[in-house]
Amino acid sequence: MASWRPDPSFYPSPRMAAKAKPESLAYVAAFDPDRSKPDAIAVVDVDPASATYSQIVGQVDMPNTGDELHHFGWNACSSCLCPNAPHPHMERRYLVVPGLRSSRLHIVDTKPDPRKPSIVRVIEPEEVAEKAGYTRLHTTHCGPEGIYVNALGNAEGKAPGGIFLLDPESFDVLGQWEMDRGPQQLAYDFWWHLGHDTMITSEWGTPDTFENGLVPEVLLGSKYGRRLHFWDLHKRKHIQEIDFGEEHQLVFELRPAHDPTKAYGFVGCVISLKDLSASIWTWYRDGDKWAVKKVIEIPAEPADPSLLPPVLQGFKAVAPLVTDIDLSMDDRFLYVSCWGTGDMIQYDVSDPFAPKETGRVRIGGIVSRAGHPGAKAAALNGGPQMVEISRDGRRVYFTNSLYGAIDPQFYPEGIDGWMVKLDVGENGGIAFDDKFFVDWPKGHRPHQVRLEGGDCSSDSYCYP
Partner 1 sequence: MSPWLVLAGLGVFHGLNPAMGWLFAVALGLHRGSRRALWLSLMPIALGHAASVAVVVAAVVALGFVVELHWLNRAAGLLLIGWATWQAFGGHRHRVRVGMQTGLAGLGLWSFLMATGHGAGLMLIPVVIPLCLAAAPAQELTAQGSLPLALAAVGVHTAAMLVTIAVVATAVYEWIGLAFLRRGWINLDYLWITALAASGLILMI
Establish if 306 lies at the interface with partner 1 (CB under 8 A). no
Residue whose CB is less far from partner 1, 133 or 144: 144
Query: Dihedral of CA 104/398/393/357: which sign?
Result: negative
Min dist. Cβ of residue 233 to partner 1 (A): 6
Least Å from the CB of residue 91 to partner 1? 12
Q: Would you say 234 or 274 has its CB closer to partner 1?
A: 234
Q: Is residue 454 within the footprint of partner 1 (CB under 8 A)?
A: no
* Residue 88 interacts with partner 1 (CB under 8 A): yes or no: yes
Contacts 24+ apart (CB under 8 A), 281-285: 281/244, 282/352, 282/353, 283/200, 283/228, 283/242, 284/352, 284/353, 285/196
Position 77 contacts partner 1 (CB under 8 A): no
Helices (H) and strands (E) in the chain, counts: 5, 30
In the complex, the smallest distance separating the C-beta of residue 76 from partner 1, rounded to whole angstroms, is: 11
Indicate the residue type of 243: D
Site string for partner 1, 146-185 (x = CB under 8 A): x--------------------xxx----------------
Find out whether the peptide bond into 160 is cis, omega within 30 degrees of 0.
yes
By CB under 8 A, name the one of 29, 46, 62, 81 that touches partner 1: 81
Element (H, E) at 310: helix 310-313
CB of 47 to partner 1, least distance (A): 23
Q: What's the order of all strands across the beta sheet hosting 198-201? A: 190-193, 198-201, 227-232, 237-243
Beta carbon of residue 6, minimum distance to partner 1 (angstroms, whole number) = 5
Among 70, 71, 87, 445, binds partner 1 (CB under 8 A): 87
Position 12 contacts partner 1 (CB under 8 A): yes
16 lies in the site for partner 1, by CB under 8 A = yes
The residue from 57, 85, 119, 159 that contacts partner 1 (CB under 8 A) is 85
Query: In sequence order, which residues have a C-beta less than 8 Å from that of residue 80 and are 6 or more positions away?
Result: 6, 7, 10, 86, 87, 88, 90, 142
Closer residue to partner 1 in complex, CB, 123/367: 123
196 or 294: CB nearest partner 1: 196
Where is 220: in which H helix or E strand? helix 216-220
Instruction: Tell me if 453 contacts partner 1 by CB under 8 A.
Output: no
Rule CB under 8 A: say whether 144 interacts with partner 1. yes
* 154 C-beta neighbours (distance < 10 Å), count: 22
Question: Which residue lies nearer to partner 1 by CB, 216 or 464?
Answer: 464
87 versus 104: smaller Cβ distance to partner 1? 87
DSSP conformational letter for 44: E
Task: Report in angstroms how near the CB of residue 128 gets to partner 1 at its nearest.
Answer: 19
Q: Return d(Cα 106, Cα 88) in angstroms, integer.
A: 24
Task: Check if the beta carbon of residue 68 is closer than 8 Å to that of residue 103.
Answer: no
196 binds partner 1 (CB under 8 A): yes
Q: Say whether residue 57 binds partner 1 (CB under 8 A).
A: no
DSSP, res 180: B
Chain residues 379-438 in contact with partner 1, contact rule CB under 8 A: none
Distance CA 94, CA 114 (A): 10
The H or E element containing residue 293 is strand 289-298
Q: Does residue 284 touch partner 1 according to CB under 8 A?
A: no
Binding site for partner 1 (CB under 8 A): 2-6, 8, 10-13, 16, 81-89, 144-146, 167-169, 194-197, 233-234, 260-261, 462-464
